[in-house]
Chains A and B, each alone.
Chain A
């Protein structure tokens, strides 16, 4: 270890570059998906509506991670922590202060943005592995922080808190589940549109410049530190909103629902959906919600192994996740019609 400094060429790229155009769906496809999301709940049972709500919520959380990783090329294995902060903010505000549920969402978003921004402050010194490491530690430490005795009065300690599900307002004849589904859908859509525009904006281009080559980006005048922290904050904020929606949907928060496993799931969702492809988030969410159910049907306790094996299959066979599958099928379709 005699050399004081070591010069390395940038060998490992953090994330493969995704062209900006390839990040979203075309208008036609988007409208079809939207129509399906609007109409399907009218014809299915409450349990399925609940599952669809969870699908949207996890989709939102995966989307948040996607902005961070696919957009700015930073990693986070600690999304479960921000999700937890969001969920607890809502639960505490609703149960202890009787705040309306809709108002808790922006509060959770702002608090998580602040937490993420502050956590991202040291993170701006960290590249790839170090950031993954710090967030990994955050995710592992979060349940213990939530169980702290000092906070027990507010958080309910190990027991957690029970959250009341809101009724539909203005006497709209919808069940609680259906109402909350549409409520979630509206929020998710708004955030999705915000995210798409964010990535198309000046900030989005700055994120991507940092992702592709940090040094070149700073040479072009991008404030690397600011944008890296900003990406972290935005991602944490959106995850927080997902967390508070999740708390209302599940009607319960407890420290052990927000373990490292949740962080893995969200990370997995992003990889399966395709890093940097925003619509893939919902595919990834579907994967992390339904695959464990199937796996547990095969054998209890096996779900982790099935998760892991599938993740390996994805990174070997379709490293770009659902985006790759979507592109493949897109390329196949016109050829078939020509024949």
Chain B
């Protein structure tokens, strides 16, 4: 039983990261109807920025905040410069754009910081949390930060004017434009926030998976799995999906024989495909009807 509780808690901790990634993916998907395949690489790059800042002697939390600001601005810049011109292009062109961004970020991170694996500090320490053997302080920290972030986002979208404007721009862009919302900038804002959320995921998972240019590959796939499970049209679903996927991954790894670390990615693949087959809209997504 203790093993079970332990694995569930550990699953919730990694699930928090998947929830962040899924949320970032869903926010951009809501804004522009495309999946950002470069989301993981963007998060990885941000994490490297924070690492570099710490190497220069900046304290953890200062680096954390600077990185958030950097990611926010970088996300907006990427949208304005690279993807705004593609807004009306076919899906293929957009996918190509994301792939290109993926390649550029991955290879420039490799060039700047090379491909060796780096230690990444945790501000929470890794002692047992509150004297219990079930969960480490870093895992508890991961959960805590994510919950704070989600609460913050919830209040932002629910109770601020700009949050309302962003929701309007995402769900009915034409009507939103008619009531005077600058939808184009709302999209850019969505990109900025998604990038910042992704960077939080990156900085929290880096102590676990270690810092290197390919560190987010697996995390992104699980983020996608989470987003698909929760429904790509539902930010709330993405978060729930993230936690579910995290727990599922850990339990499968513990109780199904032969499933270890080496099957991590195939499990995510199987999960994505089975959700798409059984319930394509996800748990909380809306069913979309197409008009000719």
Contacts and interface: CB of A to CB of B under 8 A. Distances in A.
A284 to B, nearest CB: 12
Interface string B235-270: 010000000000000000000001000111110110
B166 interface: no
A145 B267 CA distance: 10
Nearest to B266: A141
B180 interface: no
A81 B1 CA distance: 39
B280 interface: yes
B221 interface: yes
Contact of B95 (A10, A77, A304): A77
Interface in A57-111: 69, 75, 77
Contacts, number: 180
B107 A301 contact: yes
Contact of B272 (A128, A133, A314): A133
Contact of A304 (B97, B110, B217, B258): B110
B286 A315 contact: no
Interface string B71-100: 000000000001001100111111111011
A331 interface: no
Nearest to B285: A1
A14 B105 CA distance: 26
Interface centre among A11, A75, A141, A148 (most CB of B within 10 A): A141
A128 to B, nearest CB: 5
B103 interface: yes
Contacts of A216: 292
A15 B95 CA distance: 11
A133 B224 contact: yes
Interface residues of A, number: 62
Nearest to A11: B33
Interface residues of B, number: 62
Given A5-B289, A264-B102, A304-B104, A122 B277 contact: yes
A305 B265 CA distance: 25
A319 B89 contact: yes
A203 interface: no
Interface string A130-164: 10111011101100110111100000000000000
B37 interface: yes
Contacts of B233: 1
Contact of B111 (A126, A133, A305): A305
A83 B104 CA distance: 24
Interface string A2-21: 01111111111111100000
B92 to A, nearest CB: 5
A297 interface: no
B234 interface: yes
Given A133-B228, A307-B103, A144 B289 contact: no
Interface stretch (A226-234, A237-245, A267-275): A267-275
A265 to B, nearest CB: 10
Contacts of B103: 264, 304-305, 307-308, 311
A5 B286 CA distance: 6
B276 interface: yes
A237 to B, nearest CB: 20
A223 B236 CA distance: 36
B290 A215 contact: yes
Given A4-B287, A122-B277, A299 B111 contact: yes
Contacts of B69: none
B136 to A, nearest CB: 27
Given A5-B287, A6-B286, A305 B104 contact: yes
7 contacts: A3-B286, A6-B287, A8-B288, A134-B269, A138-B269, A305-B111, A312-B97
The list of the 3 closest CB pairs from A to B, nearest first, reads: A304-B107, A308-B104, A311-B100
Interface of B: 29, 33-35, 37, 82, 85-86, 89-97, 99-108, 110-111, 114-115, 217-218, 221, 224-225, 228, 232-234, 236, 258, 262-266, 268-269, 272-273, 276-277, 280, 284, 286-292
